[in-house]
């Protein structure tokens, strides 16, 4: 309904009960001054919330049928709905709620015992009420269905022989009056059980004035019951009625009122409803404030005015705090999504003939509301899958030596700036044979690939479209469309999904999602002189091709440019062409003939985006594009950079569709899609043995590789920056003096490149707090490859040779070179495995 | 006195335009803009208005007037439209003036179709004519026209 909920959601919290008051009070007091529409709107909002709670409570009640608290709460909720809709003139809705109330009254009074059938009919009533509310919302009327059958069914259930264990003394008179159709009044008949049973929903409530008076013994329960009855008709304050009845002295009422206020001074201001758009607006304003603050701080640093600086410092702190607090207003506990699950679980379990217990941990874990919205459906799907596919039938479970009731566990927690959600079941685990068979059948993996795949890879195949583990298609699942949609949806919001399974023990699905969508990490690139942000989520790797490589590496297949990335053909998309920007840089610009390829993925397809330059990664604040530009699918939004200028955020999916890398209709691309994915998986598998190395060129030695893990930084200095300390070349670097080692001289004894260029390229190597600069002729590339080391004769400072990018490359033994050149440099492992 | 209205006035290619004051959020100096490739031609770019990203519409293009001479920097008239704040790029800002309703006349029939769409009426002021701009129409996203058609650029070596 577009409203944020910001109150604690604890079941037995007395505050929750008090929330019934406002609407009822408004109905009584402020009706004339308020339009009917407003009241109906409030009624709808409040009733939807009440129904959600009813779902949970009824399911809970089924497992704890003797909980009088729960029963009372359920009864109260139905009663509230009935009362309000009676007043608003929704007759059909009132009749239905009334029938439910009668049934509940019997349960509450112990005349009936809760059965599965009663719960089902009550849940059916909740659904019917929900449908009627929808009808009211859309047409203002409570619909044309009167649910006579359901009312009949509930009336029948009422008649059933009561289990006498709890209510042996129910008087015939009371029963009669219940059948006459007024459960609420029946309960209010003076009754000896009154004090003990929290029967009447208002009676013993210590947060109300009657409850306080009762507690103090200043009135009798009968008096209160009578007064409440009068209140319902006359709509006067309970205290006034009691005084009028002569049941209590006015002073006592006044003192009880004071007690009440003292008990909970904030009762009236606990929560208010705020439209989400207001919160969003607030968020935007805070963003502006933060920008203004930044400018102010810069100004104050220039001004050197002590008192102005003090003020701007304070302003700084306040703005920061304000930003945090406003961010919090958008956060909602994940419990708001989970609350619906118990009901879902019950329904699915029932329809599958399974017994399932749902356990939830970490309901308080908070997430931005846009994300809450986005994960709602995928989560429900995952839980549904766990029950339908994971949990076995009770008979099978017994044979496997498990409890007949399966357990589905939900766990949410914060970790590393992300929210983790786990959905685990203790079912049979994934049937890997079947998954593989399905995947091969569908041509998603080849038979050879299948033979090589690890268990983990196989498990993750369930996220491919068309793979289902269900033996047969049910109305719940098994059509093989679910999991890939779940994965796509999660990826859309920057999340990841992973599955782990143990045969016979169960399956766990782990979902990781960012806390907020408002701020995302992104890679900044330029193309045709414009800056663009690429969300990190779609990013796979960066490839830079220099000079001749750029010409050789990019080939054409029927006019479509491709690049060979580790043996695979990567389709290339030129960003400037897609966006009709000026072709690359003007002749003679620094970029030269180098090409930068940003390897991205969208909808499971990888492609290379050719850009002019790759600048940096940054955390950016996502802002929407104006409505004038909403038709542009190439962008997902815009952001403001540090220099105050606007940069567009690229929508990789939209761009891919534009460029025709992926077809717009998902269906036709499925086949290819899957194959591509399967290849990715095997590529990822072998990536485990990969090492990332920096490839450099140095003199006669040719190409050398240095493990990237040993490289602290890559720098470029003018030759003039090199100074001498005795025989040692040194350089000032970040306020320190670091020795330089000329690699080509060190390795070959020659002096190939000294003085040849006016700038030197330096690989900075640090360890034990000391740094050393390795001067190379040229930094070529950073590659990620499997290194099969071959010892091609022992040479100084070289561990061996390997083939990198189809060329023989020596692996540099950095620590030994450093030890050799600078005696006394700390001992260090080689860095090669 | 007859009903009157306040207008924020500005100049565009020698013409005198006005937009009702209540619709104007603010008037600001030229701001650096970020071009939006593929966007309709009248959208010159996006500006950062105190943290809010606002599209800038070139009124000269919208009205079918010749392009602004190079080197001249436009001013931003930020208006509140149904679709959010939008900046209108104009040549120069005039005064806020009050005009009587009775001076209003509907635009001449001979007005070219393009401009006719966004000019609500003409106020006959002593000495000059004030063209009243229909702000809402001027910034209507659906009427901004197709993206500019580019001849496919020369292909780079690949």
Chain B nearest-CA distance from A599, in A, is 17
**Per-residue confidence (pLDDT) for residue B89, from 0 to 100:** 94
Going A514 to A517 to A519 to A524, the CA torsion angle's sign is positive
Retrieve residue A125's tokens: 């009533």
Nearest to A458 by CA among A480, A482, A433: A433
The hierarchical CATH code for the domain A519-684 is: 2.40.50.180
CATH of the domain at B8: 2.40.50.180
ipTM above 0.95, yes or no: no
A1-5, A395-399, A774-778: segment of lowest average pLDDT: A1-5
Look at B37 and A579 and tell me if their CB atoms are within 8 Å: yes
3-state DSSP of A305-350 = CHHHHHHHHHHHHHHHHHHHHHHHHCEEECHHHHCCHHHHHHHHHH
A647 part of contact set with chain B, CB < 8 Å: yes
Please give the share of chain A, as a percent, with pLDDT higher than 70.
72
Chain B nearest-CA distance from A818, in A, is 41
In eight-state DSSP terms, residue B39 is S
Note the pLDDT tens digit of each residue in A613-643. Answer: 898 887 777 777 777 777 788 888 888 876 7
**Per-residue confidence (pLDDT) for residue A188, from 0 to 100:** 39
Chain B residue whose CA is closest to A627: B83
Chain A residue whose CA is closest to B35: A530
Neighbours of A107 (CB within 10 A): 24
Of A292, A561, A580, nearest to B37 by CB-CB distance is A580
A260-264, A343-347, A468-472: segment of lowest average pLDDT: A468-472
In a domain, B98, yes or no: yes
Chain B CB contacts of A626 below 8 Å: 46, 53-55, 83-84, 86, 141
B8 part of contact set with chain A, CB < 8 Å: no
| Res. A497 pLDDT band, cuts 50 70 90 | confident
For the cut 90, the answer to whether the pLDDT of residue B93 exceeds it is yes
Neighbours of A747 (CB within 10 A): 23
| Residue B18, burial from CB neighbour count under 10 angstroms (0-12, 13-18, 19+) | buried
Please give the share of chain A, as a percent, with pLDDT higher than 90.
4
Chain B CB contacts of A635 below 8 Å: 36
d(CA A639, CA A619): 10
**Per-residue confidence (pLDDT) for residue A644, from 0 to 100:** 75
Note the pLDDT tens digit of each residue in A195-229. Answer: 333 344 445 555 566 666 776 767 777 777 777 76
Nearest to B156 by CA among A662, A541, A566, A611: A611
3-state DSSP of A390-417 = HCCCHHHHHHCCCCCCEEEEEEEEEECC
| Res. B97 pLDDT band, cuts 50 70 90 | very high
Return the residue in A577, A628, A648 with the most chain B beta carbons within 10 A, the one to mutate for interface testing.
A628
CATH architecture of the domain with residue range A1-174: Up-down Bundle (1.20)
Look at A623 and B52 and tell me if their CB atoms are within 8 Å: yes
For the cut 70, the answer to whether the pLDDT of residue A118 exceeds it is yes
Question: CA–CA distance from A662 to each of A603, A609, A654 (Å)?
Answer: 8, 14, 9
Mean pLDDT along residues A342-366: 87
| Res. A4 pLDDT band, cuts 50 70 90 | very low
Mean model confidence pLDDT for chain A: 73
**Tokens 């929750």 -> residue:** A16
Nearest to A106 by CA among A190, A163, A150: A163
Q: What is the b/e burial string over A528-555, where b = at least 16 CB atoms within 10 angstroms of the residue's CB?
A: bebbbbbbebbbeeebebeeebbeebbe
Chain A nearest-CA distance from B136, in A, is 12
**Per-residue confidence (pLDDT) for residue A532, from 0 to 100:** 94
A284 part of contact set with chain B, CB < 8 Å: yes
Fold topology of A690-821: OB fold (Dihydrolipoamide Acetyltransferase, E2P) (2.40.50)
Look at A648 and B36 and tell me if their CB atoms are within 8 Å: yes
d(CA B93, CA B77): 8
d(CA A466, CA A438): 8
| Phi, psi of A44, deg, nearest 5 | -65, -45
| Res. A267 pLDDT band, cuts 50 70 90 | very low
d(CA A817, CA A741): 9
**Per-residue confidence (pLDDT) for residue A50, from 0 to 100:** 79
Nearby residues of A17 by Cβ (< 8 Å), 6 or more positions away: A73, A76, A205, A207
For the cut 50, the answer to whether the pLDDT of residue A16 exceeds it is no
Chain B residue whose CA is closest to A637: B53
Mean pLDDT along residues A409-437: 85
| Res. A686 pLDDT band, cuts 50 70 90 | very low
d(CA A798, CA A804): 15
A809 versus A548: the higher-pLDDT residue is: A809
In a domain, B149, yes or no: no
| Res. A417 pLDDT band, cuts 50 70 90 | low
A198 part of contact set with chain B, CB < 8 Å: no
Note the pLDDT tens digit of each residue in A531-570. Answer: 999 988 788 899 888 776 766 677 777 777 888 888 788 8
Of A287, A632, A640, nearest to B39 by CB-CB distance is A632
**Per-residue confidence (pLDDT) for residue A656, from 0 to 100:** 85
In a domain, B23, yes or no: yes
* Chain centre to alpha carbon of residue A329: 16
**Per-residue confidence (pLDDT) for residue B19, from 0 to 100:** 93
- Contact between A157 and A124 under an 8 Å Cβ cutoff? The reply is no
B60 versus A24: the higher-pLDDT residue is: B60
Residues spanned by the domain of B81: 4-140
For the cut 60, the answer to whether the pLDDT of residue A276 exceeds it is yes
Question: CA–CA distance from A746 to each of A331, A700, A724, A754, A814 (Å)?
Answer: 59, 11, 17, 12, 11
d(CA A151, CA A332): 37
Return the residue in B25, B36, B152 with the most chain A beta carbons within 10 A, the one to mutate for interface testing.
B36
| Res. A409 pLDDT band, cuts 50 70 90 | very high
| The B4-12 sheet, strands edge to edge | B92-100, B4-12, B15-20, B128-133, B119-125, B104-105
Hey, which residues does A333 pair with through a beta bridge? A366
A279 part of contact set with chain B, CB < 8 Å: no
Look at A627 and B84 and tell me if their CB atoms are within 8 Å: yes
A829 versus A220: the higher-pLDDT residue is: A220
d(CA A27, CA A36): 10
Chain B residue whose CA is closest to A287: B51
Look at A584 and B156 and tell me if their CB atoms are within 8 Å: yes
Hey, which residues does B128 pair with through a beta bridge? B125
Each as own residue / partner, the long-range contacts of residues A316-322 (CB below 8 Å, 24 or more positions apart, any chain) are A319/A286, A319/A289, A319/A290, A319/A293, A322/A286, A322/A289
**Per-residue confidence (pLDDT) for residue A733, from 0 to 100:** 78
Count how many domains chain B has: 1
Mean model confidence pLDDT for chain B: 82
Question: CA–CA distance from A788 to each of A681, A691, A692, A795, B127 (Å)?
Answer: 22, 10, 13, 18, 88
d(CA A514, CA A512): 7
Mean pLDDT along residues A424-448: 83
Note the pLDDT tens digit of each residue in A294-353. Answer: 778 878 888 888 888 888 888 888 988 888 788 788 788 888 888 888 888 888 888 888
Mean pLDDT along residues A11-31: 42
Look at B158 and A290 and tell me if their CB atoms are within 8 Å: no
d(CA A126, CA A121): 9
d(CA A421, CA A160): 44
Chain A CB contacts of B138 below 8 Å: none
d(CA A771, CA A734): 11
In a domain, B148, yes or no: no
A81-90, A148-157, A213-222, A490-499: segment of lowest average pLDDT: A213-222
CA angle A258, A263, A265 (to 5 degrees): 80
Chain A nearest-CA distance from B150, in A, is 7
**Tokens 């190597």 -> residue:** A765
* SS3 call for A384: helix
Chain B CB contacts of A623 below 8 Å: 52-53
CATH of range A333-514; options 1.10.3810.10, 3.30.565.10, 3.40.640.10, 3.10.580.10: 3.30.565.10
B32 part of contact set with chain A, CB < 8 Å: yes
**Per-residue confidence (pLDDT) for residue B48, from 0 to 100:** 87
B115 part of contact set with chain A, CB < 8 Å: no
* SS3 call for B74: coil
**Per-residue confidence (pLDDT) for residue B95, from 0 to 100:** 92
For the cut 90, the answer to whether the pLDDT of residue A648 exceeds it is yes
Chain B CB contacts of A291 below 8 Å: 50-51
Nearby residues of A793 by Cβ (< 8 Å), 6 or more positions away: none
Chain B window 120-149: which residues touch A at a Cβ cutoff of 8 Å?
A: 139, 141, 144, 148
A67 versus A527: the higher-pLDDT residue is: A527
A689 versus B42: the higher-pLDDT residue is: B42
A589 part of contact set with chain B, CB < 8 Å: no
Question: CA–CA distance from A347 to each of A340, A470, A556 (Å)?
Answer: 11, 19, 56
**Per-residue confidence (pLDDT) for residue A825, from 0 to 100:** 66
A556 part of contact set with chain B, CB < 8 Å: yes
Neighbours of A270 (CB within 10 A): 13
For the cut 90, the answer to whether the pLDDT of residue B146 exceeds it is no
**Per-residue confidence (pLDDT) for residue B142, from 0 to 100:** 62
Nearby residues of A528 by Cβ (< 8 Å), 6 or more positions away: A575, A576, A579, A581, A582, A583, A584, A612, B37
Q: What is the b/e burial string over B125-135, where b = at least 16 CB atoms within 10 angstroms of the residue's CB?
A: beeeebbbbeb
Look at B52 and A581 and tell me if their CB atoms are within 8 Å: no
Mean pLDDT along residues A142-169: 66
Mean pLDDT along residues A506-529: 83
Look at B51 and A284 and tell me if their CB atoms are within 8 Å: yes
B149 versus A218: the higher-pLDDT residue is: A218
Q: What is the DSSP string of B96-110?
A: EEEEEGGGEEPPPTT
Retrieve residue A816's tokens: 């030994």
Nearest to A773 by CA among A696, A692, A700: A696
A322 part of contact set with chain B, CB < 8 Å: no
A623 part of contact set with chain B, CB < 8 Å: yes
The beta strands (E) that lie in A200-265 are given as none
Residues in chain A: 833
| Phi, psi of A45, deg, nearest 5 | -60, -45
**Per-residue confidence (pLDDT) for residue A701, from 0 to 100:** 61
In a domain, B39, yes or no: yes
């Amino acid at each position: 309904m577009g409203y944020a909920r910001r109150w604690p959601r604890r079941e037995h919290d007395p505050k929750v009960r008090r929330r019934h008051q406002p609407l009822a009070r408004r109905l009584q007091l402020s009706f004339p001054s308020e339009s009917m529409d407003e009241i109906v709107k409030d009624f709808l909002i409040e009733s939807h919330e009440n129904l959600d709670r009813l779902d949970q409570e009824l399911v809970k009640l089924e497992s704890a049928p003797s909980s009088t608290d729960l029963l009372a709460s359920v009864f109260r909720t139905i009663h509230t709905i009935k009362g309000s809709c009676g007043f608003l003139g929704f007759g059909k809705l009132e009749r239905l709620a009334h029938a439910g109330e009668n049934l509940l009254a019997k349960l509450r009074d112990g005349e009936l015992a809760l059965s599965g059938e009663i719960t089902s009919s009550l849940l059916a009533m909740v659904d019917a009420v929900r449908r009627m509310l929808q009808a009211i919302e859309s047409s203002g009327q409570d619909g044309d269905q009167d649910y006579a059958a359901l009312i009949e069914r509930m009336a029948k259930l009422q008649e059933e022989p009561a289990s006498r264990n709890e209510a042996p003394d129910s008087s015939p008179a009371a029963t009669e009056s219940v059948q006459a159709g007024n459960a609420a009044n029946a309960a209010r008949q003076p009754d000896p059980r009154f004090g003990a049973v929290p029967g009447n929903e208002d009676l013993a409530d210590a947060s109300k004035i009657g409850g306080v008076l009762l507690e103090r013994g200043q009135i009798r329960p009968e008096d209160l019951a009578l007064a409440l009855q009068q209140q319902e008709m006359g709509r006067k304050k309970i205290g006034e009625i009691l005084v009028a009845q002569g049941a209590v002295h006015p002073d006592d009422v006044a003192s009880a009122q004071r007690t009440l206020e003292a008990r909970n001074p904030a009762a009236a201001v606990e929560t208010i409803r705020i439209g989400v758009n207001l919160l969003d607006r607030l968020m935007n304003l805070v963003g502006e404030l933060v920008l203004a603050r930044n400018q102010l701080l810069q100004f104050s640093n220039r001004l050197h005015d002590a008192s102005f600086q003090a003020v701007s410092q304070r302003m700084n702190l306040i703005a920061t705090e304000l930003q945090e607090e406003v961010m919090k207003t958008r956060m909602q506990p994940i419990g708001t999504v989970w609350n619906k699950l118990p009901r879902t679980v019950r329904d699915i379990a029932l329809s599958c003939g399974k017994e399932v217990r749902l356990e939830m941990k970490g309901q308080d874990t908070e997430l931005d509301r846009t994300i809450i919205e986005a994960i709602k459906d995928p989560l429900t799907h995952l839980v549904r899958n766990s029950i339908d596919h994971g949990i076995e039938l009770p008979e099978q479970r017994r044979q496997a030596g498990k409890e007949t009731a399966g357990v589905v566990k939900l766990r949410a927690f914060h970790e590393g700036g992300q929210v983790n959600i786990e959905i685990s079941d203790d079912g049979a685990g994934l049937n890997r044979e079947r998954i593989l068979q399905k995947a091969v059948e569908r041509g998603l993996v080849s038979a050879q690939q299948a033979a090589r795949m690890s268990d983990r890879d196989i498990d993750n195949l369930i996220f491919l479209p068309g793979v289902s583990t269900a033996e047969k298609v049910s109305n719940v699942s098994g059509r093989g469309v679910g999991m890939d949609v779940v994965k796509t949806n999660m990826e859309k919001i920057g999340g990841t999904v992973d599955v782990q399974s143990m045969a016979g023990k169960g399956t766990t699905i782990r979902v990781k999602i960012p806390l907020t969508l408002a701020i995302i990490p992104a890679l900044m690139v330029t193309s045709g002189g414009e800056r663009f942000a690429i969300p990190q989520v779609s990013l796979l790797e960066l490839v830079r091709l220099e000079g001749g490589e750029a010409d050789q590496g990019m080939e054409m297949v029927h006019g479509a440019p491709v690049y060979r990335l580790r043996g695979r053909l990567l389709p290339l998309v030129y960003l400037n062409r897609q966006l009709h920007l000026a072709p690359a840089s003007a002749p003679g610009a620094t970029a030269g003939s180098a090409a930068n390829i940003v390897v991205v993925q969208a909808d499971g397809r990888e492609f290379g985006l050719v850009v002019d330059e790759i600048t940096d990664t940054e955390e950016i604040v996502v802002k929407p594009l104006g409505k004038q530009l909403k038709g542009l699918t190439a962008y997902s939004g815009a952001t403001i950079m540090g220099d105050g200028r606007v940069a567009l955020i690229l929508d990789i999916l939209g761009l891919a569709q534009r460029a025709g890398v992926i077809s717009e209709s998902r269906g036709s691309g499925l086949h290819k899609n899957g194959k591509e994915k399967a290849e990715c998986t095997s590529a990822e598998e072998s990536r485990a043995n990969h090492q990332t190395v920096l490839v450099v060129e140095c003199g006669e030695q040719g190409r050398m590789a240095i493990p990237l893990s040993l490289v602290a930084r890559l720098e470029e200095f003018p030759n003039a920056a090199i100074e001498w300390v005795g025989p040692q070349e040194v350089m000032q670097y970040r306020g320190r003096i670091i020795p330089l080692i000329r690699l080509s001289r060190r390795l070959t004894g020659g002096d190939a490149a000294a003085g040849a260029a006016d700038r030197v390229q330096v690989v900075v190597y640090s360890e034990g707090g000391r740094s050393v600069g390795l001067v190379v002729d040229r930094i070529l590339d950073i590659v990620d490859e499997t290194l099969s080391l071959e010892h091609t004769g022992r040479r100084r400072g070289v561990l061996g040779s390997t083939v990198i990018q189809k060329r023989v490359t020596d692996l540099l033994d950095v620590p030994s070179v450093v030890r050799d050149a600078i005696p006394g440099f700390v001992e260090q492992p080689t860095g090669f495995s | 006195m007859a009903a009157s209205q306040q207008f924020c006035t500005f100049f565009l290619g020698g013409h005198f335009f006005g937009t009702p004051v209540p619709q104007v959020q603010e008037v600001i100096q030229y701001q650096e803009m970020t071009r939006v490739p593929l966007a309709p031609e009248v959208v010159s770019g996006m500006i950062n208005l105190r943290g809010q990203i606002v599209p800038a519409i070139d009124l000269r293009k919208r009205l079918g007037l010749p392009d602004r001479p190079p080197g001249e920097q436009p001013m931003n008239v930020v208006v509140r439209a149904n679709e959010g704040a939008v900046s209108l790029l104009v040549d120069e800002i005039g005064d806020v003036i009050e005009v009587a309703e009775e001076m209003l006349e509907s635009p001449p029939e001979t007005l070219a179709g393009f401009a006719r769409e966004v000019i609500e009426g003409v106020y006959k002021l002593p000495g000059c004519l004030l063209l009243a701009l229909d702000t809402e129409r001027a910034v209507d996203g659906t009427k901004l026209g197709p993206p500019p058609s580019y001849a496919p650029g020369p292909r780079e070596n690949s």
